[in-house]
């Protein structure tokens, strides 16, 4: 068992939410608790959402800022917490999905007024796919929200997860009086802008204590007693193993802006959240306490200076110890590389790091060696699985407006797609280049970056596809036949894997029915598993 002390100390997680639910505010409060920042307002939010689509300059500037907040490392009660940031804008959803592959758990923020929203659903789908343990923080209790029982039911139903309230709210909006902690049976009264001190906590022996009536008033005290009896009756004590198995999500109520309910959640988080976990690879399971280093790249960030095409690749360490200046094996390229200036992200400052342990994220200076999903080892050949490429939702053909710059264009497309900005497909039987993205915004970013970083001028023609499915078959002949007949709808992804581009769900279902020997996959994962 190597490095066990270091592993036990680490918790790596992400906060996810629909835009505006309070992710940035909660992040800031957590950093304040961790002493990583001194004043409120210090976290530059990843607020791409506040800008119109055409403000891509602003978006790029903000993405630059977000490098610094991509990973926030802080210490709280001797636990080293790595908080991985996820972009708020839905057009960068794929970025978020990939970041979720690098964490061991998540905190999901839900706005008590709006309940479950579109992005909440999509993000939870990814968590469910990976069985990621989730803690729910119901935010904005200082606003008139939904009925607390209705909201619980809505979250359970819409997100297909069992909830386990850890605290219970006393009213909401102007009448919000605080929370009752079902775990340690204490009462926490709400005052705006609390510093999260222990002094506001009232310990009680039982809810029948007269002090409860005194503090809450008889009516609210009676309601609380009724609610708690009901909730306790249904849920009992939290079984931590059910949370770790992603079967149950503990729920906390609070108001991030008022720093209320945050400390309870953080204290529980460090008590129950999973340590760095073992992870599946194409060959075997790799566990954090192994002696040899392994890790994978889940995010690549380009330098904003167009004169320098260097990038930062974010690698999650999965096993062993990462050391500066040591040679590691880049599995895909089959070559050994060392890093003289790896970054860590302690206290939001980028600083050069000498070593890193499982659960940590290191920023590797990259001149074009990395793409998303790349694995570093100490010699063994495997890939971490579960880092899927999802199907894009908007497809456009790339048209080169300047034939003199064809080479630059090809290079730019390859590098941008390595970064995961978009996916690139080449149509069968021609050389049509198709870009697939999750949101319109990325097309603007690509167009802008191709011009400013590579000198290539392009225009996009929208194509009538709605999904890309990776196709495989045990019967190569059948696959070849399908490809021949469906030339206009079949292409190759960047790794040369065959992809069927479907015009609509109807077409996709029809092809599935007509071609029972061919399998249609919504992620590219299938190819990694066999790599
Ligand atoms: P996001 O990162 O999830 O997109 O959300 P963010 O934290 O930026 O919060 C969105 C808005 O909700 C912000 O207001 C923020 O102040 C507010 N907010 C966060 N937590 C609470 C809470 O507990 N109660 C109430 N009432 N509001 C909360 P804004 O006006 O959009 O931004 P700002 O001008 O305050 O920065």
Q: Ligand 1 atom closest to Cα of 258?
A: 23
Distance, in Å, from the CA atom of 262 to the CA atom of 33, rounded to the nearest integer, reads 9
- Sorted by where each begins, the domain ranges of the chain are 4-74+103-272, 279-377, 394-527
Render each residue's pLDDT in the chain as its tens digit; 531 residues: 678 999 999 999 999 999 889 998 999 899 888 876 655 555 544 443 343 334 445 555 555 555 555 788 889 999 999 999 887 666 667 778 889 999 999 999 999 999 999 889 988 988 998 899 999 999 999 999 889 999 999 999 999 999 999 999 999 999 999 999 998 888 999 876 655 555 567 888 888 888 899 989 999 999 999 999 999 888 888 999 999 999 999 999 999 999 999 999 999 999 999 999 999 999 999 999 999 999 999 988 876 555 666 788 999 999 999 999 999 999 999 999 999 988 887 645 567 888 999 999 999 988 889 988 999 999 999 999 887 777 888 999 999 999 899 999 999 998 888 888 789 999 876 778 999 988 887 888 889 889 988 899 999 999 999 999 999 999 999 999 999 989 889 999 988 899 999 999 999 999 999 999 999 988 877 555 444
pLDDT for 416: 86
Cβ contacts of 348 within 8 Å, gap of 6 or more? 31, 36, 37, 68, 69, 72
CA of 256 to the centre of ligand 1 (A): 8
Q: Which of 17, 23, 25, 72 to mutate to test the pocket of ligand 1 (most atoms within 8 A of CB)?
A: 25
Please return the burial class of 531, using the count of CB atoms within 10 Å of its CB with bins 0-12, 13-18 and 19+.
Answer: middle
Q: Ligand 1 atom closest to Cα of 46?
A: 2
Distance, in Å, from the CA atom of 19 to the CA atom of 117, rounded to the nearest integer, reads 9
pLDDT for 346: 60
Please return the burial class of 16, using the count of CB atoms within 10 Å of its CB with bins 0-12, 13-18 and 19+.
Answer: buried
Q: Which residues line ligand 1 (CB under 6 A)?
A: 17, 19-25, 45, 88, 139-140, 142-143, 255-258
Q: Whose CA is nearest to atom 30 of ligand 1?
A: 20
pLDDT for 440: 83
Q: Ligand 1 atom closest to Cα of 19?
A: 4
CA of 48 to the centre of ligand 1 (A): 14
In this prediction the pTM is 0.86
CA of 480 to the centre of ligand 1 (A): 54
To the question of domain 394-527 being in CATH 3.30.200.20, the answer is: no
CA of 251 to the centre of ligand 1 (A): 20
Q: Which of 257, 258, 259, 261 to mutate to test the pocket of ligand 1 (most atoms within 8 A of CB)?
A: 257
State the CB neighbour count (10 A cutoff) for residue 101: 22
CA of 148 to the centre of ligand 1 (A): 21
Distance, in Å, from the CA atom of 129 to the CA atom of 113, rounded to the nearest integer, reads 27
Q: Whose CA is nearest to atom 26 of ligand 1?
A: 140
Q: Which of 382, 214, 212 is closest to 295 using CA atoms?
A: 382
Distance, in Å, from the CA atom of 101 to the CA atom of 50, rounded to the nearest integer, reads 27
Q: Of all helices (H) and strands (E), which one includes residue 151?
A: helix 148-159
Q: How far is CA 244 from the centre of its chain?
A: 18
Give Rg (Cα) of the chain: 25
CA of 177 to the centre of ligand 1 (A): 20
pLDDT for 85: 82
The helix/strand/coil state of 390 is strand
CA of 44 to the centre of ligand 1 (A): 13
* HSE value, Cβ hemisphere, 13 Å, CA-based, for 205: 2
pLDDT for 453: 84
Q: Whose CA is nearest to atom 25 of ligand 1?
A: 140
Q: Do 279-377 and 4-74+103-272 fall under one CATH topology?
A: yes
**Cα dihedral sign, 202-207-210-212:** positive
134-139 vs 361-366, strand pairing mode: unpaired
Q: Ligand 1 atom closest to Cα of 88?
A: 4
Q: Whose CA is nearest to atom 19 of ligand 1?
A: 22
Q: Of all helices (H) and strands (E), which one includes residue 96?
A: helix 93-100
CATH top class, domain 4-74+103-272: alpha beta
Strands lying side by side in the sheet with 311-319: 335-338, 327-330, 375-377, 294-302, 311-319, 361-366, 343-344, 351-352
Q: Whose CA is nearest to atom 6 of ligand 1?
A: 22
The answer to whether 145 and 174 are in contact (CB under 8 A) is: no
Q: Ligand 1 atom closest to Cα of 49?
A: 4
The helix/strand/coil state of 192 is coil
Q: Which of 14, 18, 20 to mutate to test the pocket of ligand 1 (most atoms within 8 A of CB)?
A: 20
Q: Whose CA is nearest to atom 4 of ligand 1?
A: 20
To the question of domain 279-377 being in CATH 3.40.50.300, the answer is: yes
pLDDT for 89: 66
CA of 140 to the centre of ligand 1 (A): 9
Distance, in Å, from the CA atom of 479 to the CA atom of 209, rounded to the nearest integer, reads 73
Task: Give the ranges where 355-457 is alpha helix by DSSP (H).
Answer: 406-418, 440-454
Please return the burial class of 526, using the count of CB atoms within 10 Å of its CB with bins 0-12, 13-18 and 19+.
Answer: middle
Please return the burial class of 484, using the count of CB atoms within 10 Å of its CB with bins 0-12, 13-18 and 19+.
Answer: exposed
pLDDT for 50: 42
Q: Ligand 1 atom closest to Cα of 109?
A: 3
């Amino acid at each position: 068992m190597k490095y066990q002390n270091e592993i036990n100390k680490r918790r790596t997680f992400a906060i996810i939410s629909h835009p505006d639910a309070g992710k940035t505010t909660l992040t800031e409060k957590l950093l304040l608790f961790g002493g990583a920042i001194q004043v409120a307002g210090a976290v530059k939010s990843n607020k791409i959402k506040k800008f119109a689509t055409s403000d891509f300059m602003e978006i790029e500037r903000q993405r630059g800022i977000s490098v610094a907040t991509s990973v926030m490392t802080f210490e709280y009660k001797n636990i080293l917490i790595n908080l991985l940031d996820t972009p708020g804008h839905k057009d960068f959803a794929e970025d978020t999905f990939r970041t979720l592959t690098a964490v061991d758990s998540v905190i999901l923020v839900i706005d008590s007024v709006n309940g479950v929203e579109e992005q909440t659903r999509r993000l939870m789908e990814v968590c469910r796919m990976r069985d990621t343990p989730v803690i729910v923080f119901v935010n904005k209790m200082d606003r008139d929200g939904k009925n607390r029982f209705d909201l619980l039911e809505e979250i359970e139903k819409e997100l297909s997860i069992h909830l386990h309230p850890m605290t219970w709210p006393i009213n909401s909006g102007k009448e919000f009086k605080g929370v009752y902690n079902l775990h340690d049976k204490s009462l926490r009264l709400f005052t705006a802008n609390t510093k999260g001190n222990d002094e506001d906590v009232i310990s009680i022996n039982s809810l029948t204590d007269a002090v409860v009536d005194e503090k809450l008033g008889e009516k609210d005290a009676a309601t609380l007693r009724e609610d708690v009896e009901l909730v306790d009756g249904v849920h009992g004590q939290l079984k931590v193993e059910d949370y770790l198995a992603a079967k149950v999500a503990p729920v906390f109520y609070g108001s991030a802006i008022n720093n209320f309910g945050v400390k309870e959640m953080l204290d529980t988080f460090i008590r129950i959240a999973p340590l760095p976990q073992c992870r599946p690879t194409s060959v075997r399971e790799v566990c954090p306490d192994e002696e040899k280093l392994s890790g994978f790249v889940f995010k690549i960030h380009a330098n904003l200076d167009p004169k320098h095409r260097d990038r930062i690749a974010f690698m999650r360490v999965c096993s062993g110890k990462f050391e500066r200046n040591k040679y590691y094996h880049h599995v895909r390229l089959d070559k050994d590389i060392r890093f003289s200036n790896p970054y860590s992200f302690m206290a939001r400052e980028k600083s050069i790091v000498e070593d890193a342990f499982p659960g940590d994220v290191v920023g590797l200076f990259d001149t074009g060696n990395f793409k998303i999903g790349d694995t570093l080892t100490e010699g063994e050949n495997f890939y971490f699985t579960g880092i899927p490429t999802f199907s894009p939702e908007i497809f456009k053909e790339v048209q080169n407006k300047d034939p003199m710059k064809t080479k630059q264009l090809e290079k730019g497309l390859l590098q941008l797609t390595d970064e995961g900005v978009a996916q690139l497909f080449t149509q069968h039987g021609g050389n049509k280049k198709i870009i697939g993205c999750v949101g319109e915004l990325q097309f603007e970013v690509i167009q802008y970056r191709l011009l400013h970083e590579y000198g290539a001028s392009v225009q996009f023609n929208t194509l009538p596809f709605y999904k890309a499915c990776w196709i495989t078959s045990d019967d190569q002949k059948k696959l070849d036949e399908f490809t021949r007949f469906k030339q206009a709808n079949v292409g190759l992804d960047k790794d040369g894997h065959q992809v069927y581009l479907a015009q609509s769900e109807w077409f996709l279902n029809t092809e599935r029915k007509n071609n029972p020997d061919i399998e249609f996959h919504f992620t590219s994962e299938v190819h990694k598993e066999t790599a």
